[in-house]
Structure 1
Amino acid sequence: MSFAVIKPGLETSVQDWPGRYGYWNQGFPPSGPMDSWSFRLGNLLVGNPVGAPGLECQYMGPTIRFNEPTIFAVTGADMQPTLDGAPVPLWESVTAQPGQVLALTFAKLGTRAYIAVAGAIEVEPWLGSRATFHKAGIGGMGGYALKAGQTVPTGTPAPQANAGRQVKPEARPAIVTDRRWEIEVVAGPNDDWIDAAGHGRFLSTDWKLSGKSDRTGFRLDGPEWSFTEKAINKAPEHGSLPSNIIDQGYPLGAINLAGQTPIILVNDGPSMGGFINPYTVPQAAFWKLAQSKPGETYRFKSITVDEAQAMARSLSALCTESSIIL
């Protein structure tokens, strides 16, 4: 079973969840879907395991032609999907017949949409994952975004793959319409390099998402930071700038302070480097990053590690059959 790529969209890629874990020390980040909430629910709609390989579409979606009868679902951003020109409902499993064409256009609301197909996408795993890491050319369809003319293989649908399954409205991520996002952060690992005024400014400022952002890092525009004595009077091996530190490991979601520019390290980000990380965005908040566009604003909210873990548990509880209307 398979589908053909007529138009690839803008960097549409094969991803699986949670991605390629255990190889960051060799330079391979987790990758995987940036909005795992929408991704996991899409798989449930078509009867797949929540982490099965599917498509992540960003800004502009693809046009594909199904070669066999298929159950599919589109979740996440509203890219105004149509099947042979007829509107396709989001958050619902739909039947496609051989030869029918699914077309996604620009993201009317949100940024990243997900296409799940019953039986999932069947490509060879690389280091235990099908997730595409574009900058190294690994995973997915030859390691890169989809290309026009490709045929994407899919697996055998499970018995529970049926049309008409829907995600309950209250179980869907609420994509903002006013271009303003509240993003949770946990202090650390290098919060002690920022002084009280710097912390206060960071948490009380609207930060604008820069157009110089991708799946490696989300660059933010805002005011300057101020530092503690520890960051200013330090051993020379730490570097000359207050934000420099001897090379250290970076957590996923770290707000990496490069000089005066904070960059949120997301799914394809580096594993280590010589800048401090005053805050970290928990993975349960990544869906908000995924659905935001350049020019939109973030207001950060400080939470504890326990609260971040509770967010993750709540999200996992939503990504189950309990959120599906049969």
Structure 2
Amino acid sequence: MIHVLKQGLETSIQDWPGRQGFWNKGFPPSGPVDSWSFRMANLLVGNAAGDAGLEAQFMGPTLRFDRDAVIALAGADMKATLDAKQVPMWQSIPVRAGQVLAMGAARTGARGYLAVAGGLANDQKLGSRATFHKAGVGGMNGHALKAGQDVPVGDAQGTVGMKVPETARPAFSTDRSWQIEVCAGPNDDWIDAAGHDRFLTSDWKLSPKSDRTGYRLEGPEWTFAPKATDKPPEHGSLPANIIDHGYPMGAINLAGQTPIILMNDGPSMGGFINPYTVPSVAFWKLAQAKPGEILRFKLIEIETAQRMAAELTALCTPATLVSA
């Protein structure tokens, strides 16, 4: 067991790729937003890449280990300490029974990840251990960690002394801005040429009103193609309204004039257009962006996004690791 002394701002159990096959019933995939860091942390301790671990947002938890373990930290640097001594990121280290791991505020990035050899062993719900807060599914009693809880851990010896080389780690922004890849569609034909140019050349600020459901963006107004205004009444009154249809994960959902990137816990359908979609391979950047930081979007082809995802999956293997 791991005993939760302090819960952090929002620390949740996630697995990768999350809860599959239930979106049509209202249950999104959930899972880690930065799957690159998450997978690497798991591989470091000898787990499968998708085993359940912790995602800590902005401020990490304080945890006491009730038995010997092997752990690894990846993602945002939360200046973690083990019995008040700083511990390294991106490598596997031993923990003794009774030791206390304290994760602080994120210094770089926004979400930190903790993997434990054996993986977290909370109950599976609909085929996944991932937390979906808004429905109370998965995680610990359906929600993020709370002080006083005991988190079960699977049995495993683990591997100590492994490291992710710097060339295989995500490179976090140093100037509070991020370039995010997007693919056109599914409703890009509802936006006129000026609107597309404005979206792809403007700075978009990440709003504090953002969470694992959706990232709200602040920026210029959109302009629309004729089909957005000259349309049958069942499509709704606003130019961004459309008859209810399915939303892809990562869709940039245009709610009136407010673009909202639909994240891991986002809805599966609705009545707004989606001019662009952020591919899964770019989600790690969204995970590590903080409110107030700038997002700039780069248009790529779907085939390019698929190639990038395949390259990342090939990188997230034990063969990438080196001895510390």
TM range (shorter): over 0.9
Aligned-residue offset at 1:123: 1.1
Whether 2:17 is the aligned partner of 1:18: answer: yes
SS in 1 for 2:30: coil
1:116 aligns with: 115
1:135 aligns with: 134
In structure 1, stretches of 5+ residues that fail to align are: none
1:290 aligns with: 287
Distance (whole Å) between structure 2 residues aligned to residue 15 and residue 90 of structure 1: 19
Aligned-pair identity in percent equals: 66
Distance (whole Å) between structure 1 residues aligned to residue 315 and residue 177 of structure 2: 24
Distance (whole Å) between structure 1 residues aligned to residue 159 and residue 233 of structure 2: 63
Q: Among 291, 307, 312, which residue is 1:310 paired with?
A: 307
Aligned-residue offset at 1:110: 0.3
SS in 1 for 2:285: helix
Distance (whole Å) between structure 1 residues aligned to residue 154 and residue 255 of structure 2: 44
2:44 aligns with: 45
Matches within 5 A, 1:189-268: 189-268=186-265
- The number of residues matched between the two structures is 323
Distance (whole Å) between structure 2 residues aligned to residue 199 and residue 259 of structure 1: 16
Distance (whole Å) between structure 2 residues aligned to residue 322 and residue 290 of structure 1: 25
Aligned-residue offset at 1:318: 1.1
1:5 aligns with: 4
Aligned-residue offset at 1:322: 2.1
Aligned-residue offset at 1:325: 0.6
Distance (whole Å) between structure 2 residues aligned to residue 114 and residue 198 of structure 1: 37
SS in 1 for 2:63: strand
Aligned-residue offset at 1:177: 1.1
SS in 2 for 1:28: coil
Distance (whole Å) between structure 2 residues aligned to residue 109 and residue 251 of structure 1: 29
Instruction: With the length of structure 1 as denominator, give the TM-score of the two structures.
Output: 0.98
Structure 1 residues 144-201: Cα deviation after superposition (integer angstroms, max 9, x where no partner): 010101111101114xx22211001100000111001000000000000000000000
* Residue type at the aligned position of 1:282: P
Aligned-residue offset at 1:227: 0.4
Structure 1 residues 225-260: Cα deviation after superposition (integer angstroms, max 9, x where no partner): 000100011000000000000000000000000000
1:176 aligns with: 173
Q: Among 162, 182, 192, which residue is 1:185 paired with?
A: 182
Aligned-residue offset at 1:321: 1.2
* Residue type at the aligned position of 2:255: A
Structure 1 residues 199-235: Cα deviation after superposition (integer angstroms, max 9, x where no partner): 0000000100000000000000000000010001100
Q: Among 247, 258, 266, which residue is 1:269 paired with?
A: 266
* Residue type at the aligned position of 2:230: N
SS in 1 for 2:195: helix
Distance (whole Å) between structure 2 residues aligned to residue 12 and residue 224 of structure 1: 35
Aligned-residue offset at 1:292: 0.2
In structure 2, stretches of 5+ residues that fail to align are: none
Distance (whole Å) between structure 1 residues aligned to residue 231 and residue 213 of structure 2: 29
Distance (whole Å) between structure 2 residues aligned to residue 250 and residue 236 of structure 1: 21
Aligned-residue offset at 1:124: 1.1
Distance (whole Å) between structure 2 residues aligned to residue 259 and residue 266 of structure 1: 18
Give the superposed CA RMSD: 0.6
